[in-house]
A and B are shown apart, each in its own frame.
Chain A
Amino acid sequence: MEEENRELNPENGSGFTKQHQEEEEDHKVVKFLDSADSYLDLFDSLSSTLRQGWLELATARQSMGASRINRALFDLKYHNAATSLQVIQDDVKQPNFTLCKWVSTNNQNCSTEEAKFDEDELFEKNSTNAQLRYRGTSEIQEKSPESIGSKLTVVDQIQKERSKSLSMFGTLVSPKLRCAQISFETALDTLIEMANMRSSLLSAYDQVHKDMASTKG
């Protein structure tokens, strides 16, 4: 009883530290469980998005014909990747993945790494803006007409890049093929979110594991 009083006494430094430590451990466990839950949600979302994409592709094939949609039409000529992945590893244990979508494939003079990096920066900003759009559309809507105008330009550019990617199947493609493209693009975004979530999950697990080891010790 005296010991409990000693522990509960706020003036007792060691008791407060132990309570704070327990709270921190609980917080880490909750963070780990939250990450696991989010990861599983993303997994389900990816699965259903991919199913939808494959069905839309089959629907497009039904509409346009098997000769217009088949893998024999994939472009084997050398060309820059339309989308690239950046891995930022500030923290060794928790790398961060960022998708740079729809880098222009039209710029034939873009042979230097610097020029390509500039384009990546532009489209990374655009992709970051796109992420912001998902999280807070109202913020974008409150902005000035100039930013709305630039947003429209970005949207037009993205639409152009999307059409360019589909051009291997022809220029006049069914809207169903465009829907399939959007679905696979969403699936790619989800994959990157999953990679980041997994990184966070593993980091949280490491922390919990470390705490458990130190508690036992």
Chain B
Amino acid sequence: MYGFEALTFNIHGGYLEAIVRGYRSGLLTAADYNNLCQCETLDDIKMHLTATEYGPYLQNEPSPLHTTTIVEKCTLKLVDEYKHMLCQATEPLSTFLEYITYGHMIDNVVLIVTGTLHERDVQELLEKCHPLGMFDSIATLAVAQNMRELYRLVLVDTPLAPYFSECITSEDLDDMNIEIMRNTLYKAYLEDFYQFCQKLGGATAEIMSDLLAFEADRRAVNITINSIGTELTRDDRKKLYSNFGLLYPYGHEELAVCEDIDQVRGVMEKYPPYQPIFAKLSYGESQMLDKAFYEEEVKRLCLAFEQQFHYAVFFAYMRLKEQEIRNLMWISECVAQNQKSRVHDSVVFIF
């Protein structure tokens, strides 16, 4: 019952909430980012990161460094922290933590299937998979020729099985089918996660509803913008939008018929929470939209830490850490390409 978590939450969740709040204090600060943005080489970045909590993961990496190496090692830290929390968690927190990784699982499935379609080596594809989204039979995905086989041979025993009911066909897998499969799976996953959080109730349901609704709305906007000028029909586009969120259902009706970025802006500006995001963009421009959305997301994730005795702090920490890794990837790319003047284009400060 909402309001009484303080009495019972710490019995099962107190230790892990303390752990995740400790992890949160290890996130890079604005001072760290300012130092990193002034680095001249990737070795300088490594040197600065060695003085942070990423130290043990990067200090033994030989030069010359590559941007993907920095990202891999930082991701390993996130994976270790997640596994520590998962192995200590009891129900329903353990299920909640598992839900956080299903998005990566979907990405990995699509990566393997797409790579196999392009006749890539399975081992090479497995190396590119996100470690949080790995499962035992993932390599068997390379054998499937269509979605029915994909489901029957591999995914029926994975947590993604319930999400496949809407996209099982016997059509051979091609680029368009795979894209629709990706977005349909993610839609089903978000809706399922949303329902799960509603069942948990209390502060978890309240905070996670807001965070997941924002995620659903952002996905709707990205699907709309990315499908402009493609063969995706309006009906197919609308089917990929989630069935919850601030934009559901009237915003989705309007987004489904948008043909350019200015029409998308016209739709989104009717919703007060999204007006400040689109106010930062000039007309016809969508380059800074991602950064604007990331900034808004970070703001909402940081607010999750203002309350106690709920599970949303775990979700918020994982997302903030992923944003931090994205920041490090961008800074590394700008340094490697000698484009330091552009480094602030995509860095989103946390806290």
Contacts and interface: CB of A to CB of B under 8 A. Distances in A.
A161 to B, nearest CB: 13
A175 B114 contact: no
A9 to B, nearest CB: 63
A55 B118 contact: no
B295 to A, nearest CB: 14
B330 interface: yes
B215 to A, nearest CB: 14
B75 to A, nearest CB: 9
Nearest to B347: A62
Given A72-B120, A72-B125, A76-B120, A171 B130 contact: no
Contact of B71 (A55, A66, A73, A171): A66
A174 B130 CA distance: 21
B179 interface: yes
A67 B71 CA distance: 12
Interface residues of B, number: 45
Contacts of B130: 67
B89 interface: no
Contacts, number: 94
Contacts of A77: 118-119
Contact of B118 (A51, A73, A176): A73
Nearest to B338: A51
A167 B333 CA distance: 24
B277 to A, nearest CB: 15
A10 interface: no
Contact of A62 (B107, B176, B227, B290): B290
A176 B183 CA distance: 19
Nearest to B68: A66
* Most chain A CB neighbours (cut-off 10 Å) among B128, B227, B231: B128
A67 B129 contact: yes
Contact of A59 (B111, B178, B183, B345): B345
Interface in B160-204: 175-176, 178-179, 182-183
B230 interface: yes
Given A62-B346, A67-B107, A175 B226 contact: yes
Contact of B339 (A55, A168, A173): A55
Contacts of A54: 337
B111 A163 contact: no
B108 to A, nearest CB: 7
A214 interface: no
B227 A172 contact: yes
Interface in B108-124: 108, 110-111, 114-115, 118-120, 124
A187 B222 CA distance: 28
Contacts of A70: 128
Given A55-B337, A67-B129, A172-B183, A73 B227 contact: no
A98 to B, nearest CB: 29
28 contacts: A55-B334, A55-B337, A58-B333, A58-B334, A59-B346, A62-B333, A65-B107, A66-B71, A66-B329, A67-B107, A67-B108, A67-B110, A72-B115, A72-B120, A73-B114, A73-B118, A74-B118, A76-B118, A77-B119, A163-B230, A168-B175, A170-B114, A171-B179, A171-B231, A172-B183, A172-B226, A175-B226, A176-B287
Kindly list the 6 A-B residue pairs having the minimum CB-CB distance in the complex, ordered from nearest.
Answer: A172-B226, A58-B333, A171-B179, A75-B118, A167-B175, A76-B119
